A = this chain, B = another copy of it.
Amino acid sequence: MTTLSVDAETARSDYAALVERGLFLDITRGKPSPRQLDLSNGMLGLPGDVFKAEDGTDVRNYGGLNGLAELRRLFSGFLQVPADQLLAAGNSSLELMHDSVVQAMLSALPGAERRWADEERVAFLCPVPGYDRHFALSERFGIELIQVPMTESGPDMDVVERLVAEDAGIKGIWCVPKYSNPDGTTYSDETVRRLAAMTTAAPDFRIFWDNAYAIHHLTDVEAPLADLLALCEENGNADRAFVFGSTSKVTLAGAGVGFFGASKANIAWWLGKIGKRTIGPDKINQLRHILFLKDEDGVRAHMRKHRELIAPKFDAVDRILTEELGGTGLASWTKPTGGYFISLTVVPGTAKEVVRLAKAAGIALTPAGATHPYGDDPEDKTIRIAPTFPELAEIEEAVKGLTVCVRLAAAERA
C-alpha cells in the first residue's frame, strides 16, 4: 500500500445510502449459477435406455470399485493421471480428500512407519490464502495446520522445503495447483518440480493435489501445469502425490463425479481399504457423464460455455474494483485467468470490519479469515470474492457495495 486516499465523510454517507437500499445479495460461495447448471440439463434425461458400459457391465448393479473405465480414460489427460491409476467415485472430491486423511489416520500408508492416529503429531502445510474446507476437515481430525505464504508461482518453496526437511511431523500439504482458491495462481513448473523432488523428513509425506479447476479457464490462454505424478515418480517419490478432481463445476454441482489418482501402490492401498466401505460407486451417473460429454473435445466445448457465462462476471468485478478503488491504495486484487475466485486485499486490520459492514448492508461475503487455517488471517486483510453464482447485475451491485465498505473501514481505521 502506498498513499491511502479516503474521504471519511463521503465514505460514511455512501455507506448510509448503501444500507438504505436494503440489498439482499450473496457472493459467499463458489457455486455455479443456475444458468451454468442449465448447460447440463441434457443430462437429466440420461442414460435413457442405455445401461451397459463399454465392457458390457450392467451399470445398474453392484460392483466396479474403480469406476467406469471410459470415464476414467476421458479425464485421465485433464487430470494428468494414467487411466489405470485414476478412480472415478461418488459425487464429491472433498469426500475423497477427507477419506484419504481418514484412511491414513487409521491404516499405515505405503511408506509409513505407523498410522497417523498413532503419531504424536500430524501437521499439514497450508499455502495461504487457501480453501477453508481443506482446513476444516484437517482441524476436525486434530491435524496441526502450518501457514506457508503463496507467491505468484505457488507456495513459497524455500519455506516449504525447509519445513518438510526438518519436521517429520509434517505429513502433508494442501495444494490447489491451478487457478488456486482464492488467488487464481497456477503453480510454476519449477514449484511443481521442487514439490516432487524435495526431501521430506516424514517417509509418508503426501501432497494433496486438489486440481479442482483443471479445465476451468477464463481466457484463451489455458494455463499449463506440470505433471506432478510423473515428476514424483521421476524423482524417486512415486507415492508422494494424491491427485483429486471432479466434474462438480463441469456438469452438475450436486451430482458430478469425483476422481482420485495416485501411484499404483497408493491405489492398491486405497482400494484395499475402500473396498470395505462400498461395493462400488454410482456407475449410472458415470455412464450419464460419458453419454453427455462424449470425449475430450466435448468437455472443452462444454467448458467454453461456462466461460461465456462467468468471464463477464469476473471482468465486471475487476472493472468496478478498478473504478472505485483503483489508485486509492486501499486495496489490491487478483485477475485470475481461471477458477472460481478473486482475492481482494484490503487495508490490514480491516477485512473483518469490511465483511461486517457488508453484511449489515445486506451483502453476504465469505467470513474474513476463512482463507486461513483456524480462521486466522494474521494481517486481517484477505477477502474472497466468489462471482459465479449471482447474476451479472447482482454481482456488479454487490461489488460496488463492497467497495463502499472497504473505503469506510479504511477511513474509520485511519
Per-position 1/0 for A364-407, Cβ under 8 A of B = 00000000000000000000000000000000000000000000
A137 CB, nearest partner CB in chain B, Å? 4
Partner of A94, one of B41, B64, B277, B285: B277
Per-position 1/0 for A116-138, Cβ under 8 A of B = 01000000000000000100110
Partner of A141, one of B48, B62, B106, B252: B106
With A and B bound together, what is the CA distance between A102 and B62 in angstroms?
23
With A and B bound together, what is the CA distance between A40 and B47 in angstroms?
13
Interface contact A41-B37, CB-CB below 8 Å: no
Interface contact B248-A62, CB-CB below 8 Å: yes
Whether, in the assembled complex, A32 has its beta carbon less than 8 Å from a beta carbon of chain B, the answer is yes
Whether, in the assembled complex, A234 has its beta carbon less than 8 Å from a beta carbon of chain B, the answer is no
Residues of B within 8 A of A62 (CB): 29, 31, 248, 253-254
Interface contact B37-A98, CB-CB below 8 Å: no
Interface contact B45-A276, CB-CB below 8 Å: no
Per-position 1/0 for A36-79, Cβ under 8 A of B = 01001100111111110000001111111000000000000000
A96 CB, nearest partner CB in chain B, Å? 10
With A and B bound together, what is the CA distance between A283 and B37 in angstroms?
14
With A and B bound together, what is the CA distance between A8 and B373 in angstroms?
73
Copies per complex of this chain: 2
- Indicate whether A60 sits within 8 Å of B31 (C-beta atoms), given known contacts A276-B137, A277-B98: no
Interface contact A281-B91, CB-CB below 8 Å: yes
Residues of B within 8 A of A280 (CB): 254
With A and B bound together, what is the CA distance between A278 and B96 in angstroms?
9
Whether, in the assembled complex, A282 has its beta carbon less than 8 Å from a beta carbon of chain B, the answer is yes
Whether, in the assembled complex, A284 has its beta carbon less than 8 Å from a beta carbon of chain B, the answer is yes
A282 CB, nearest partner CB in chain B, Å? 5
Interface contact A284-B137, CB-CB below 8 Å: no
- Indicate whether A60 sits within 8 Å of B252 (C-beta atoms), given known contacts A44-B49, A277-B137, A278-B94: yes
Interface contact A279-B41, CB-CB below 8 Å: no
A319 CB, nearest partner CB in chain B, Å? 27
Whether, in the assembled complex, A360 has its beta carbon less than 8 Å from a beta carbon of chain B, the answer is no
Interface contact A276-B61, CB-CB below 8 Å: no
A298 CB, nearest partner CB in chain B, Å? 19
Partner of A45, one of B49, B140, B279: B49
- Indicate whether A48 sits within 8 Å of B45 (C-beta atoms), given known contacts A61-B37, A117-B117, A253-B60: yes
With A and B bound together, what is the CA distance between A137 and B274 in angstroms?
9
CB-CB nearest in chain B for A254: B283
- Indicate whether A255 sits within 8 Å of B284 (C-beta atoms), given known contacts A47-B44, A91-B90, A95-B278: yes
Whether, in the assembled complex, A198 has its beta carbon less than 8 Å from a beta carbon of chain B, the answer is no
Interface contact B284-A252, CB-CB below 8 Å: yes
Residues of B within 8 A of A200 (CB): none
Interface contact B282-A282, CB-CB below 8 Å: yes
Whether, in the assembled complex, A105 has its beta carbon less than 8 Å from a beta carbon of chain B, the answer is yes
Residues of B within 8 A of A273 (CB): 140
Whether, in the assembled complex, A34 has its beta carbon less than 8 Å from a beta carbon of chain B, the answer is yes
Whether, in the assembled complex, A167 has its beta carbon less than 8 Å from a beta carbon of chain B, the answer is no
Partner of A136, one of B37, B45, B92, B276: B276
Whether, in the assembled complex, A222 has its beta carbon less than 8 Å from a beta carbon of chain B, the answer is no
Q: Taking A44-B51, A90-B282, A254-B279 as given, write out 15 further A-B residue pairs in contact, using a Cβ cutoff of 8 Å, ordered by the A residue number.
A: A32-B61, A37-B51, A44-B284, A45-B45, A45-B48, A60-B253, A61-B254, A62-B254, A64-B254, A98-B276, A102-B102, A133-B279, A252-B284, A254-B284, A255-B283
20 contacts between A and B (CB under 8 A): A34-B60, A44-B50, A44-B51, A45-B45, A45-B48, A45-B49, A59-B254, A60-B252, A60-B253, A60-B254, A61-B253, A91-B278, A92-B278, A105-B106, A105-B117, A117-B117, A136-B276, A137-B276, A254-B284, A282-B282
